[in-house]
Structure 1
Amino acid sequence: MTPRIERRLSAASATSLTYPEIGATRDEVFPGGYHHLSVTRTIGRGDAAFALAAERVMSWQVQRRTGLRIEATAATAHEGDDVLLGLGVGPLTRWLPCRVVYTVEEPRRAGWAYGTLPGHPEAGEERFLVVHEPDDTVTFTVEAFSRPAWWPVRLAGPIGRAVQRLVSERYVRALG
C-alpha cells in the first residue's frame, strides 16, 4: 500500500458515514427517500459452491473481478474496516471511501455491507450476500439503498441509477 493510499484510508477512518440509517440493509424494507436496488442470481449448488462464493465475497474478490481496485484496512471484510474502491487507471483513479457496517458469517449465509463515507458520490449502503438455500442452490444478492451525494450525480438522474444497476449486475456475474 502506498503512503498516499494509507493517508486516504487514515482520513476515511476519521469521518462518519454519510447517512443515518446504518445497517438498514439487514431489513426487508429499506428506508424511504432513497433509490432501492436488488439483483439476485443463482451461482451454483452445494456446500463447495457456497464455501467458494463466501470466501470470494468476504475477500473483496467480487469488486476486484468487476475491475475495481480495492485498498482496505484488512484482507477480508470485518465490521468497522475502511475500504477505498478505485475506479479508473493510474493517476486518473477516483477513490470512493466506504466502511463495512456489518458482516454475516453463518453456516448458510455469508456477506457484508458497506456504508458510504464523505467523498463517495452516493450516500447509502450496499450489501453483498451469499445464501445456501434449502433446495441446495447457492444465490448471490446485491442490495442497496442510495441517493446522490454530489450534484453531478443528482443531475445524472436516471442515468446514474442505470449505472448503479449495471455495476450491481456485474457484481453478481463476477461471482457466478
Structure 2
Amino acid sequence: MTSFFKLAAALLVAGSLTACSAAAKVQMTQPKSAAIPSQSVVALEVVPAGNEAGDEDTEAVLQKLRSSLFGGLVANGLFKQVVQPAETADYKMQITVDGVRTVSQGARIFLGALAGENEFSARCLVTNFATGDKVTDFTVMGESAAHPLSSENDMDDAINKVVEKIIASLR
C-alpha cells in the first residue's frame, strides 16, 4: 500500500511541474525558398484573423507582437529595416493572429495550474514585395506556463517565445 502512495505522490509532483515554462512550436507549410539578404527591408503587417477582430485580448497581443518583431527582426540581423505595411520594401511579412486565449490573474489565483496557459497561434507569410512570390509560410503556436508560481506564466512570455520561433524560422 505504501508503494501506491509513493507512486501517487510522484505522479502528483510530476503533474504539478508540467508546463512550468513558456513554449512555442512551428508548423511549416512552405519552408524558406531562398535566403533573405540581411540588407533587405521588410514591410511588417500584424493583423487579427477575421473572427478575432476587435477583441481586447487579441488587440493587446497584436500590439506586443508587432513591437517585439519590429525590434527583433533588425536586432537579430535578419533585415536592415522594418517598415509599416504601406511603405515600399523588399519583402512583405504578414502575421495573422488567431486563437488568443488569455487567463486572468484572478483565475490563476483561484484555479492555479488548472486555469491553463495563455496561448495563441499566428500564421507568418513572407512574400517578395515586387513579385508577390511566396518566400515562406508557417504557423507558430505559443503558450505561457500554466503553473501560477512559474516566472513564465504571462502572455508576454508566450509572445516572446513566438518571436524567437519566427526569427529562428527566417534564418
Q: Same fold (TM over 0.5)?
A: no
Higher helix share: 2
Greater length-normalized contact order (CA 8 Å, ≥ 6 residues apart): 2
- Higher-Rg structure is 2
Q: TM (normalized to structure 1)?
A: 0.30
Higher strand share: 1
Q: TM (normalized to structure 2)?
A: 0.30
